[in-house]
C-alpha cells in the first residue's frame, strides 16, 4: 500500500535533545558544565522519558514541560549542579530552541515536493513544539503538529497514534511513522503503522511486540522509503 502520510516524533528524531546541554557548556561561563554535559544530557532525557511512562501508567498526567523540568532537576542533582539556578534556567531556555538535525529541512522539503502529508506526533506540549518548530524554521514543511495534550496521555498509549488517523483520515498502512526512540517505533509498528527507527546510536532493537520495518542511521533516506 502506498504511503500518503509521514509522521515524525519530535524530540530526538527531528530535534537534537542533547543540544541544550552542549550549547550551555560552550557558552561563556559554562566551564563547570563542560565535563558534565554529556552525562547530564543523557540523564535528563532518560528521566524525561521515564517520568512520561510512569505518569501514563499511573494515570497522573501532566504536561511535558513539567516532566522536562522534573527530569532536568534530577539530572542536575545527580551531577552535583542543583544549586546553580542560573544554569537551570539557561538549560530550560535552550530547550525551547533545540537544533534540528542537519538533514531535517531538506528531508521534509523533499516529502512535501512529492505531495505527501507531513506532521509531528509528540509527547511535547503545544507551546514547546511550536517554539522548536519556529526556531528550526520548519513551519512551511509541516502540515500539522499533533500533541498528546489533545488526549491527555503520553506515548505509547494507542490513543496517541489514533490522532494521526483522525487528523488525516488515512488507513494505518498508508502511514510511515518515524522515531528515534526504539520503544516508540516498536509501539507504532504493533499499532499497525509502517515504521522507521532512526537508530543514530547503533543500539539493539527493543524486545517488544512490534518491530520497526526499517532501521536507519539518520533521516536522509525517508523520502525514498516513503516513495517505495
Q: What is the bridge-based pairing of β-strands 175-179 and 144-147?
A: unpaired
73 tagged catalytic = no
Give Cβ neighbours of residue 36 (< 8 Å, ≥ 6 apart).
25, 79, 81
Query: What ranges in the chain are assigned the alpha helix state H?
Result: 19-26, 31-34, 37-58, 64-78, 85-95, 104-113, 126-135, 158-168, 182-191, 222-227
Give Cβ neighbours of residue 27 (< 8 Å, ≥ 6 apart).
90
In the set 9, 16, 43, 184, the catalytic residue is 9
Residues that are catalytic: 9
Amino acid at each position: 500500500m502506498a504511503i500518503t502520510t509521514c509522521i515524525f516524533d519530535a524530540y530526538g528524531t527531528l530535534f537534537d535533545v542533547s543540544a541544550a546541554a552542549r550549547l550551555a557548556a560552550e557558552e561563556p561561563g559554562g566551564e563547570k558544565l563542560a565535563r558534565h554535559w554529556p552525562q547530564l544530557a543523557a540523564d535528563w532525557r532518560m528521566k524525561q522519558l521515564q517520568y512520561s511512562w510512569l505518569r501514563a501508567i499511573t494515570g497522573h498526567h501532566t504536561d511535558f514541560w513539567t516532566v522536562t523540568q522534573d527530569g532536568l532537576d534530577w539530572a542536575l542533582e545527580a551531577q552535583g549542579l542543583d544549586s546553580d539556578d542560573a544554569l537551570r534556567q539557561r538549560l530550560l531556555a535552550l530547550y525551547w530552541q533545540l537544533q534540528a538535525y542537519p538533514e531535517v529541512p531538506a528531508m521534509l522539503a523533499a516529502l512535501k515536493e512529492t505531495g505527501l502529508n507531513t506532521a509531528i506526533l509528540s509527547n511535547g506540549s503545544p507551546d514547546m513544539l511550536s517554539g522548536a518548530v519556529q526556531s528550526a524554521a520548519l513551519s512551511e514543511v509541516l502540515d500539522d503538529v499533533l500533541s498528546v495534550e489533545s488526549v491527555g496521555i503520553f506515548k505509547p498509549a494507542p490513543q496517541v497514534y489514533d490522532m494521526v488517523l483522525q487528523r488525516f483520515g488515512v488507513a494505518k498502512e498508508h502511514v510511515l511513522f518515524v522515531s528515534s526512540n526504539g520503544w516508540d517505533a516498536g509501539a507504532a509498528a504493533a499499532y499497525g503503522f509502517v515504521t522507521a527507527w532512526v537508530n543514530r546510536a547503533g543500539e539493539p532493537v527493543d524486545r517488544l511486540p512490534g518491530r520497526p520495518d526499517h532501521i536507519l542511521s539518520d533521516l536522509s533516506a525517508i523520502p525514498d522509503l516513503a516513495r517505495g
